[in-house]
Amino acid sequence: MATLRDIKRRIKAVQSTSKITKAMKMVAASKFRKAQQRMFELRPYAERMNVILSGLAGSVEGDMHPLLAVRPRKNVEVFVVTSDRGLCGAFNTNILKAASKHIADLRTEGFNVTVSAVGRKAKDYFKRRNVVLRNSWTGISGKISYSNAQEIAVDVIESYTNETVDEVIIVYNEFKSVVAQKVVIARLLPLAPIASAEADLPVFNFIYEPSIEEIFGKLVPKNVEIQIYRALLESQASEEAARMSAMENATKSANEMISRLSLQYNKARQASITKELMDIVGGVEALKG
């Protein structure tokens, strides 16, 4: 049975943990607000840009730009976005499970699959499973800039244009709310026409200025950068939200444990006092006799 000193020591340890998790929640909340604002500001622009270019891609030839060329799928790249740090609940677990399943499905279908990753968690995860990463980026979690997206986009575009890969799939967590994130598996390259009800609409002959080649030459690579940047920002906002929720739950659990331990301490202390009183009473009765 634990002594009063042991229980008291454990209460202090849990109290220290509670202070740490509470502080981490406050830090995550501060980072989350900034990440959420950046993500919300970019999301409409990224979505609209992708829709417009995908719509225009249906009215031009596939050889208009190398990133519009749809080749027979043989080599597929899966680009996985995770965080560098843990303590964020199931944030990384969900994304890695979804990515692993998608990679396994692609290999079952007979495709050659290569993997690139953002975040130390993805890098370590695939390393433990003897999966060789074609490329990886770490140390940018929590301090994402547009230059990070540009660097990644250059690598992805190069691997696609030199026909090292025939398709690029991106896997990331899309922010939905503070308590919910959605794993997104989307095709990044090639940029193809949107398959939707809009396909039934009449096809217009657009007039391009300065020229269709120059427009696609500038905007298609830019769109790849924007979509990668959006995935990074969505992932960052989701990470901080998940960490904030995880630290709040950890603080609640610590406080509940402190209450249980305090009750256990008080019961043990009461039993100790009662025993001492019984010993005193017994001694007094013995002296009377």
Alpha-carbon distance values, 229 to 45, 149, 157 (Å): 11, 5, 14
Query: Is 236 buried (19+), middle (13-18) or exposed (0-12) by CB count in 10 A?
Result: buried
197 assigned to active site: no
Residue 88: enclosing H or E segment and its boundaries? none
| Residue pair 48/219 in contact by the 8 Å Cβ criterion | no
* 75-81 and 112-118 strand pairing: parallel
Contact (Cβ atoms closer than 8 angstroms) between residue 40 and residue 241 = no
Under DSSP, is residue 2 helix (H, G, I), strand (E, B) or coil? coil
Identify any residues that bridge with 81 across adjacent strands, giving them in sequence order. 118
Of 39, 76, 80, 88, catalytic? 88
Catalytic residues: 88
